[in-house]
Amino acid sequence: MPRLTKKQARAEVSRLREEIRRHDHLYYAESNPEIPDADYDKLMRRLMELERGYGLAVPDSPSQRVAGEVAEQFNSFSHVIPMMSIDNAVDEQETREFDQRIKRFLKTEEEIEYVLQPKFDGVSASLTYVEGDLLHGATRGDGKTGEEITANLKTVRSVPLALSGGGRKPKLVEIRGEVVFPKSLFAKLNEELEKLNEELEKENENLLKENKKPKPLRMLFKNPRNAASGSLRQLDSSVTARRPLHFYAWGVGGCEGVDFRDEIEIYEAFRKWGFNIEEPGDCLGIDQAIEYARELEQKRDSIDYEIDGAVVKVRSRRLQEILGTTAKYPRWSVAIKFSPKQITTKIRDITVQVGRTGHLTPVAELEPVKISGIEIKRASLHTEDTVREKDVRIGDTVVVQRAGDVIPEVVEVMASQERGKKTFSMPKNCPRCEAPIEREGSFHVCPDISCPAQIRGRVSLFASRNAFNIEGLGAKKVEQLISEGILRNMADIFTLKKEQLLGLEGFAEKSAENLLEEIEKSRDISFERFINSLSIKHVGTRVAQTLAREFKTPENLMAATDEDLLRVEGVGEELAQSVLRFFGDPERRGVVEALLSQVRIEEQPEPSGKNEKIAGKTFVLTGTLSVPREQAKNEIERLGGKVVNSVSGKTDFLVSGADPGIAKLKKAAELGIDVITGEQLEKILAFQDVTSKR
């Protein structure tokens, strides 16, 4: 980029400040941001670059203060100790520069002890306790002055109204943390708001007929962070009480009557006092800190709240005091930013995808972009109604986000961009089998279960890791075998012959034998994975686990009545009907019976109480395990164990899979903690004896 004149730089700085202030207001005061965080960060970094390069920094610039505003409808609250922002590190180099600055300041070459915690993407709040009782609750606001929302914060069930635990309570302590909205419940909230709007629209029709003022409709939330902010800033605290908010403690502000030596002691106090916490990572040196941050980023999609980075803190409180702060940031902390999960791009076309349950999904074909290091070319538009509500057109510039391992989705159209002209409508016939499309609520569905697209989806899930785990039978191979007419359903997999494979593209003598060997190995399967493999609508890994535990055998599940299913905790009417329809369909039931004649359902041991090798023990999981990590965690907790994120002296087992975290292995070795493999963990979970390795 060519160097600007001072006049040009001043003009761009003025424009950037005005734009950033506008976005700050939209984000903090209205909970209605126009741009993703990644785009906002680019604006801020450009402003800071110009201010430094041309000597244009001024005290009231957005770059010189903590972003945020106090809403007019709430009383203001002054923080005794300012809630400062944390400086960002966007890559490893900047993280190492932070470490070098600390060492230069302390005049030491020794490795610094750090702790790491998730950087929550929620609403920062402070809770002031006097003699152990909650007296004030406030938002961060501008860092010095926030909004007093005590009544609303008291409705959050994970906020203790009084500090628990024995012993003397501090005379005063300000607990700082984050209010978050669970990702798993976010869609449900917007659905409830949509239903409420439908009722309001009907009511407004009558009001208009009577020449009365209509009632305002409820605004839908764009993401879980907005949902947390909007829920907390309700004038009616009963509305906040109905929202499933969670508070996680991450720091201490003002404190009288108790002294903490380090951050780990603070977290131990949080636990004793009754707060939700995320176990901090305890790291010696910046290399371990970076490794821990990488592991956290890899699993961010499996966590039920949004995180956008990892916060690194100097562990020692004494060293924190020596390091002090700048005008804006603590010198002893930095946030390692994760790759953005939202980004803008352009829609080239809108096509239709047919899923394994027959649902038709409009898909945006995008100009390729990278999110979290992964190239994104397609994004879900969910339903035709969604396309119309968001007014998405071919040629539009849109915000795209990636959540979990599912296909990315289009969040919104960029209103400031030139709009596309070509609109979209769902086809009247299935694009794969030409069957007439049917409507189920807001979904378009292909009713033909013999549709090649549905068969492909079902067989791909059937062969996947959470089901039969048939190595070598990926989506391309499945598509090939279906196209050749060799596979018509899942049961056909177990009747495959080498003669059918030889001669097909990609199959020689050895590769055909290898696939058949993998199929043979997969015939033994647990009941829960068998259920998950069947592609029953609304039945995923967790529901499959519940059904397997309740019904014990396929025969029991197939014979279950509506009453039997509804007695199971977590099973509602819609799920029960889906299971009944599945096994009541002669074709689907025939496939299941054919499978049962070809596979062996493993008998699950009936635990008599808690597994003594698990109960009361603390586990840390690292690397890729032989079973899905979430499944391992659930089973450990079911048997009375505990799973935490970081290795400490309280850890009993480090479970190490493929590509484990080096920092965790080193820490386990230093502390003499047992290291076991994923396979050994499976044996322990099955009540078998194993010999651990150091």
With the CA atoms of 367, 370, 375 and 379 taken in that order, what torsion angle do they form, in degrees rounded to the nearest 10? Answer: -60
- β-partners of residue 351 are 363
Look-up of token digits 């080096």:
662
- β-partners of residue 137 are 127
Pair of tokens at residue 411: 């969040």
Verify whether residue 119 is a known catalytic residue. yes
Tell me how crowded residue 299 is: count the other CB atoms within 10 A of its CB: 13
Q: CA angle, corner 460, sides to 466 and 598, nearest 5?
A: 75
Instruction: Look up residue 320 and give its amino acid.
Output: Q
C-alpha–C-alpha distance, residues 335 and 340, integer Å = 14
Please give the full DSSP string across 545-560, using - where no structure is assigned. Answer: HHHHHHH-SHHHHHT-
C-alpha–C-alpha distance, residues 77 and 136, integer Å = 9
Please name the residues in contact with 53: beta carbons below 8 A apart, sequence gap of 6 or more: 9
Instruction: Look up residue 439 and give its amino acid.
Output: R
Contact call for residues 617 and 652 (beta carbons, < 8 A): yes
C-alpha–C-alpha distance, residues 206 and 88, integer Å = 53
Half-sphere exposure of 442 (CA within 13 A, CB side): 13
Pair of tokens at residue 611: 């597994």
Reduce the DSSP state of residue 457 to 3 states and report it. helix
Pair of tokens at residue 151: 């009544």
Look-up of token digits 């700085």:
13
Please give the full DSSP string across 576-614, using - where no structure is assigned. Answer: HHHHHHHHHSHHHHHHHHHHHTTSEEEPPP--SS--TTT
Contact call for residues 689 and 682 (beta carbons, < 8 A): no
Look-up of token digits 């029709």:
205
Please name the residues in contact with 315: beta carbons below 8 A apart, sequence gap of 6 or more: 113, 114, 115, 262, 263, 264, 282
C-alpha–C-alpha distance, residues 313 and 366, integer Å = 39
Catalytic pick among 6, 103, 119, 683: 119
Instruction: Look up residue 664 and give its amino acid.
Output: K
Q: What residues are annotated to the active site?
A: 119
